[in-house]
Amino acid sequence: MARNGKRVVVTGCGMITPLGKDSRETFANAQNGISGIDFLRSFETEGLPCRIGGQVEDAWLKAAPETGLQGIEKCSSRGLKIMLSAASEAVEMARLDSVENRDRVGVSLGYHGENPSVDDMLMLYRYSGGKDLWDIQGLSAHGVYSFFNFFRRKPDVATSILSILFNCKGSAFTTVSACAAGAQAIGEAFGIIREGRADAMIAGGCESNLNFAGFVGFVLIRALAERYSSPEKASRPFDRKRNGFVMSEGAGALVLESLDHALERNAPILAEVLGYGSSADAFRITDIHPKGDGAVLAMQGAMNDAGVAAEDIEYINAHGTSTLQNDQIETLAIRRVFGDLARKVPVSSNKSMIGHTIAAAGAIEAGLTIMGINNSVLLPTINYEFADPKCDLDYVPNRARVVEHRIALSNSFGFGGQNACLCFGKFLQ
């Protein structure tokens, strides 16, 4: 259905989230309206106004494929380790190992690298002397703040390692558009395959900000939910009592492939990528455009790209962060795009159960959107208890709904004003 070039399909889907170790477990728990949010255990939170988050269990992480290469483990950030689990699931599902021409298999990753730890800060203090002086010899000799710390910070190291581990020798790149990065990574991969520059791409996003330095930045700018009766009640997109987002970690990966290539090797086809739109608010770094202009452009762009009209869209997986500003403006943007149809299109936010996984969010939500289409299930927005007059759409409140649907949008809006929207459809031969 895409207007130009090759048709692109999804042949693999993987994820690891606070709700589950893989896509099946995440989807099942989301279908049951379970929250993955809890008190944080990975660092000391006493005294902080927000002490909750969505953590991935260490026991769920899969070991990296054996390569015999030194340094991969040491260069691997937690975000990458999480991504390896998601990508492994997607690659296995797509049977991507069977593809012989690895020069036409690529990797597209949304990721921002690892934050410095408190011990890193101390090390930097010691060797920088707290001034513009730095004892590089001492720093190197100490060996604690090593080469590897710098490289866990670099987003493209994760992409490179994924390329090595999954033997992908085609296009490999890293997108860095904050909360839109995962969706943009998928959108860019879609474009590259459609244009014929690759046969298949592993595309997705990962993030792990549940460390003190990463977390406290968001605490200090008061972006996180601070008023909650219990952790699982804190993320409440579109609810009148929402008061900030809940930080989580996770990863999502899709294997995208040209339809011809997938059919030729008899790969499982989960869905078709119909369209992709991106836009910039070009308004203000710290605020969303008040009329949702950027969100409108991204949704319209994806629909135009897919060649579908508003009446064709049967579900919207919302960005839905549980912040006052986002949820109200996203609602307004949906109303602007869909007009009178807006109240008839079910809209839900996976972040009510998973929290906000930043660069991973768009990829995880893309995967759940596809699973919803294939299982005829609309995942719920949990913790929807108090109606907000400014948020007046059908948010699939609290309980999943069994509804057959074929075409859906998945929204992702990034800090700074970058927006992305993906359009997926049930695969029809």
Q: Would you name the residues annotated as active-site residues?
A: 179, 319, 356
* Cβ–Cβ < 8 Å for 38, 232: yes
Question: Does 199 sit near other proteins (CB under 8 A)?
Answer: no
Shorter beta-carbon distance to other proteins: residue 59 or 141? 141
Distance of CA 98 to the CA centre of its chain: 27
Work out which of 168, 299, 361, 393 binds other proteins, going by CB under 8 A.
Answer: 168
Work out which of 89, 232, 257, 281 binds other proteins, going by CB under 8 A.
Answer: 281
Going from the C-alpha of 181 to that of each of 293, 333, 358, 362, 363, the distances in angstroms are 19, 20, 8, 7, 9
Encoded tokens for 409: 């949008």
Encoded tokens for 49: 């106004």
The least CB distance from residue 414 to other proteins, in Å, is 7
Work out which of 11, 85, 184, 208 binds other proteins, going by CB under 8 A.
Answer: 184
Minimal CA–CA distance to 162: which of 255, 259, 273?
255
The least CB distance from residue 381 to other proteins, in Å, is 27
Tokens 């012989």 label which residue? 100
* Cβ–Cβ < 8 Å for 182, 366: yes
Question: Does 156 sit near other proteins (CB under 8 A)?
Answer: yes
Cα 335 to Cα 341: distance, rounded to the nearest angstrom: 8
Question: Does 279 sit near other proteins (CB under 8 A)?
Answer: yes
Evaluate the CA torsion angle 352, 353, 359, 362 in order and state its sign: negative
* Cβ–Cβ < 8 Å for 354, 325: no
Site for other proteins, residues 49 to 78, rule: CB under 8 A = 69
The least CB distance from residue 90 to other proteins, in Å, is 18
Evaluate the CA torsion angle 138, 139, 141, 143 in order and state its sign: positive
Minimal CA–CA distance to 321: which of 296, 299, 343, 288?
288
Question: Does 220 sit near other proteins (CB under 8 A)?
Answer: yes
Question: Does 213 sit near other proteins (CB under 8 A)?
Answer: yes
Question: Does 173 sit near other proteins (CB under 8 A)?
Answer: yes
Question: Does 41 sit near other proteins (CB under 8 A)?
Answer: no
Work out which of 97, 135, 392, 404 binds other proteins, going by CB under 8 A.
Answer: 135
Question: Does 385 sit near other proteins (CB under 8 A)?
Answer: no
Task: Considering only the stretches 54-62, 144-152, 252-260, 421-429, report the one whose residues sit in contact with other proteins under the rule CB under 8 A.
Answer: 144-152
In terms of C-beta density within 10 A (0-12 exposed, 13-18 middle, 19 or more buried), how is residue 222 classed? exposed
Site for other proteins, residues 253 to 272, rule: CB under 8 A = none
Shorter beta-carbon distance to other proteins: residue 139 or 263? 139
Shorter beta-carbon distance to other proteins: residue 239 or 281? 281
- Burial readout 191-204 (b: 16 or more C-beta within 10 A, e: otherwise): bbbbeeebbbbbbb
Q: Using alpha carbons only, what angle is made at residue 193 by residues 258 and 151, rounded to the nearest 5 degrees? A: 125
Question: Does 297 sit near other proteins (CB under 8 A)?
Answer: yes
The least CB distance from residue 47 to other proteins, in Å, is 6
Minimal CA–CA distance to 381: which of 116, 372, 5?
372
Encoded tokens for 184: 């943009």
Cα 342 to Cα 154: distance, rounded to the nearest angstrom: 41
Question: Does 159 sit near other proteins (CB under 8 A)?
Answer: yes
Site for other proteins, residues 311 to 350, rule: CB under 8 A = none
SS3 334: helix
Residues contacting other proteins: total by CB under 8 A: 87
The least CB distance from residue 216 to other proteins, in Å, is 5
The least CB distance from residue 106 to other proteins, in Å, is 7
Site for other proteins, residues 94 to 133, rule: CB under 8 A = 103, 106-107, 112-113, 115-116, 118, 121-122, 124-125, 128, 130, 132-133
The least CB distance from residue 128 to other proteins, in Å, is 6
Question: Does 160 sit near other proteins (CB under 8 A)?
Answer: yes
